[in-house]
A and B are shown apart, each in its own frame.
Chain A
Amino acid sequence: MKRFFEKLVEGALLISGSVTSITILLIIIFLFKEASGLFHSPVIEEGYELALNKANPVKKLTSYQIKEIFDGKILNWDEVGGKNEAIELVRLSDLTKYYSEAELGSNFENIPAKASELTSKHPGIILFLPTSYIKKNFNGTLLKHETLIPGDFFGGKEWYPTASPSPQYGLLPLLLGTLWVSLGAILLSLPFGIAVAVYLAEIASMKVRNILKPVIELLAGIPSVVYGFFGLVIIVPFLQRLFNLPVGETALTGSVVLGIMALPTIITVAEDAMRTVPRAMKEASLALGATHWQTIYKVIIPYSKSGITSAAVLGIGRAIGETMAVLMVTGNAAVIPHTLLEPVRTIPATIAAELGETAAGGGHYQALFMLGVILFVITMIISISIEFIGKKKYQ
């Protein structure tokens, strides 16, 4: 009976132990499940059609081409593989320019017929209409409902999920924004972090350590939204004045805030690594006549290289995944940044800012989950590479 009870407890403990693994599995399943529809979602807004003249040889347009046409950047059909013919853009509201209200009917009951007529008469037309206005005898070609291709997502240069008629889900501006902010953060905080780690591990007296350690713990404990708030009211106006910018919410602001937030991680991991340096090695160096400083940079830092690398990688991981602070201070402009002094938008900030206002199951919703998948994959790669770096040390 006792035996049985012990086994039972062990089983319960094992089940608890496997919860984290199950969670990881569930995260993978659910993120992919919600995101999977993205590459089956139509490039044209649902419930709408794009119609062309029958003589137009163009039979399909990519999401990006549609957007460029409707933005007035592509003006001629030969740019998208058609004949040399000017593009004539007609939306539902533009129909009144071609037909009087009387012709369209008092209840707009003539719109289907007139739309059909207009399409057949104008060779360069592209007509954007709700599907309900397209009747059976429509005299024109309807563009096929292409689905978003992975290339549009992973190589897309524009993130504009509310664009009409073709929402743009381009990953590049968000990915680059994330990388810029994170790299800026790590460049700022790594020198600081290593310096503090060296100071704590080698130079500081016990008394100073007892002050610094809790300070670093506290820095790690401050909620990210408080960092964001502090950044918003202090760092944003400060940088705006310093660089004389039109707006203070820039990639650099994000980097400064994230740099502070990444400090505790970097310091703790790097210091732990420096403490594992065998005493014999330090003493041998000192006995050979090296100064304490020489011992630090010739023996201790090279020896703890893998630990310092882990610290840097972990710091980058923290920075890439940080959401609220970045959302509050980077200005959230989803454009590809050229300098650190421009507003950017990161992947986590995009998810946090936009998921609340999307309809579950739509293309936008799926695109945000796809961003989550990408974020998850990046952090998994980081976790695994740290595992790898840690193993290497003992070989």
Chain B
Amino acid sequence: MTPVIQAKNTDRKKRNSQAIAFTIFKLMSYSVVAILFIILGFIVIRGIGVISWDFLTKAPEEGMTKGGIFPAIVGTLCLVAGSSIFSFPIGIMSGIYMNEYATESKVATFIRIMTNNLSGVPSVVFGLFGMALFVNTMKFGDSILAGSLTLGLLSLPLVIRTTEESLKAIDKSYREGSLALGATKLQTIQKVVLPMAFPNIITGLILSIGRVSGETAPILFTVAAYFLPKLPTSIFNQVMALPYHLYVISTSGTDIEASRGIAYGTALVLIVIVLLVNLLANGLRNYFSKKVKTN
């Protein structure tokens, strides 16, 4: 934080306009906080009564107006796991390549531009693409595999960017020290750079999990099932997923009013996932930054 150098100013009018402007900015900023609390508060208050052990561990019943959301929770976990298996290794390797091997080369610039472009592609386009490539062309059908690959591609730019930024934050002197001791480049990355960047990379990965678990559009045509109480037994099965379930029961269920309660509960579970992911990420970040300081 830069200390504000208060210029002496005798002109009261100037000071008044400053006071007014700052108050407005302050109010606007706090209203953003208010918006968040209204959204969270509303869903928590309406949803908390719905949450119970049965709600979390049972399948939907009676046209999805009763019962629980267990299959949707399992489905979302499958999709998160599947997409992570795909996007984490590739994303981290790609980030390492861009920051350690091809720093300012044309190749790195090109890859960086492409990664940025990919992160701007709307999620529904990923859905179309996943359907055309994985479901139709590669004949995976509507399956966990197709959905995971689609979600993996979607989260790839996020993973790459986090890895790259985490690596960038590490001072050059560490790399030079390691190289001067006779370590190869690969050894330096493996033994010095990666361990230091690890906390930040993990934080980014956790945040990307949060993003993946809430995406709906990419799974619409690649995996999501409207109603499927049976749990998946292979990666070629369809699954229900939390965000899609919320969409379905709040817009097109058999009885929208009767399933409102379930909808609030599902929204709350989604919100809790996001909160947990953020808390975990922030907690890890703080924990590791303290650890680095005390060392």
Residues of chain A at the chain B interface (Cβ within 8 Å): 2, 5-6, 9-10, 12-14, 16-21, 23-24, 26-27, 30-31, 33-34, 191-192, 195-196, 198-200, 203-206, 209, 211-212, 214-219, 221-230, 232-234, 260, 263, 267, 279, 282-283, 286-287, 289-294, 296-297, 314, 317, 320-324, 327-328, 348, 351-352, 355-356, 360, 368-369, 372, 375-376, 379-380, 382-384, 386-387
CB contact between A234 and one of B42, B123, B125 (< 8 Å): that residue: B42
- CB-defined A-B contacts under 8 Å, sample of 10: A17-B111, A20-B160, A26-B129, A27-B129, A30-B133, A196-B25, A217-B278, A219-B32, A321-B120, A352-B124
A sample of 6 more A-B contacts (CB under 8 A), given A6-B186, A212-B33, is: A21-B111, A192-B31, A200-B29, A204-B29, A219-B36, A294-B14
Alpha-carbon separation in the docked complex, A287 to B123 (Å): 49
Decide if B118 touches A23 in the complex (CB within 8 Å).
yes
Decide if B17 touches A351 in the complex (CB within 8 Å).
no
Decide if B118 touches A20 in the complex (CB within 8 Å).
yes
- Tell me, rounded to whole Å, the shortest Cβ–Cβ distance linking B222 to chain A: 11
Q: Mark B150-185, 1 if CB is under 8 A from A, else 0.
A: 000100110010000000000000000000000011
CB contact between B42 and one of A228, A230, A382 (< 8 Å): that residue: A230
Chain B residues, Cβ within 8 Å of A6: 184-186
CB contact between B278 and one of A19, A214, A260 (< 8 Å): that residue: A214
Chain B residues, Cβ within 8 Å of A289: 7, 9
Decide if B271 touches A17 in the complex (CB within 8 Å).
no
- Tell me, rounded to whole Å, the shortest Cβ–Cβ distance linking A284 to chain B: 11
B26 within 8 A of A: yes
Decide if B101 touches A14 in the complex (CB within 8 Å).
yes
- Interface of chain B, main secondary structure: helix
Chain B residues, Cβ within 8 Å of A286: 5, 7
Decide if B132 touches A31 in the complex (CB within 8 Å).
yes
Decide if B28 touches A221 in the complex (CB within 8 Å).
no
CB contact between B270 and one of A191, A225, A234 (< 8 Å): that residue: A225
B121 within 8 A of A: yes
Decide if A230 touches B39 in the complex (CB within 8 Å).
yes
CB contact between A293 and one of B21, B263, B271 (< 8 Å): that residue: B21
Chain B residues, Cβ within 8 Å of A209: 1
- Tell me, rounded to whole Å, the shortest Cβ–Cβ distance linking A212 to chain B: 6
CB contact between B113 and one of A214, A382, A387 (< 8 Å): that residue: A387
Q: Knowing A26-B133, A199-B28, A328-B247, say if A223 contacts B128 (CB, 8 Å).
A: no
- Tell me, rounded to whole Å, the shortest Cβ–Cβ distance linking A373 to chain B: 9
Decide if B28 touches A287 in the complex (CB within 8 Å).
no
Residues of chain B at the chain A interface (Cβ within 8 Å): 1-2, 4-7, 9, 14-15, 17-18, 21-22, 24-26, 28-29, 31-33, 35-36, 39-40, 42-43, 89-91, 93-94, 96-98, 101-102, 107-108, 110-111, 113-118, 120-125, 127-129, 131-133, 136-137, 153, 156-157, 160, 184-186, 207, 210-211, 213-217, 220-221, 243-244, 246-247, 250-251, 260, 263, 267, 270-271, 274-275, 277-278, 282
Decide if B9 touches A291 in the complex (CB within 8 Å).
yes
Closest to B260 in A: A233
Q: Knowing A286-B5, A324-B243, A348-B217, say if A355 contacts B131 (CB, 8 Å).
A: yes
Decide if A196 touches B32 in the complex (CB within 8 Å).
yes
Decide if B221 touches A356 in the complex (CB within 8 Å).
yes
CB contact between B121 and one of A290, A291, A321 (< 8 Å): that residue: A321
- Tell me, rounded to whole Å, the shortest Cβ–Cβ distance linking B10 to chain A: 10
Alpha-carbon separation in the docked complex, A6 to B185 (Å): 8
Chain B residues, Cβ within 8 Å of A221: 207, 210-211, 214, 274, 277-278
Decide if B271 touches A372 in the complex (CB within 8 Å).
no
Q: Knowing A31-B129, A225-B214, say if A379 contacts B122 (CB, 8 Å).
A: yes
Alpha-carbon separation in the docked complex, A16 to B29 (Å): 41
Decide if A19 touches B184 in the complex (CB within 8 Å).
no
Decide if B120 touches A355 in the complex (CB within 8 Å).
no
Chain A residues, Cβ within 8 Å of B277: 221
Chain B residues, Cβ within 8 Å of A322: 122
Chain A residues, Cβ within 8 Å of B129: 26-27, 30-31, 372
Decide if B94 touches A17 in the complex (CB within 8 Å).
yes
Chain A residues, Cβ within 8 Å of B243: 223, 225-226, 324
Decide if A199 touches B128 in the complex (CB within 8 Å).
no
Decide if A30 touches B247 in the complex (CB within 8 Å).
no
Chain A residues, Cβ within 8 Å of B35: 219, 260
Chain B residues, Cβ within 8 Å of A230: 39, 42-43, 267
- Tell me, rounded to whole Å, the shortest Cβ–Cβ distance linking B286 to chain A: 11
Closest to A2 in B: B184
The 8 closest A-B pairs by CB, nearest first: A223-B214, A321-B122, A293-B18, A16-B93, A13-B97, A195-B28, A17-B97, A21-B114
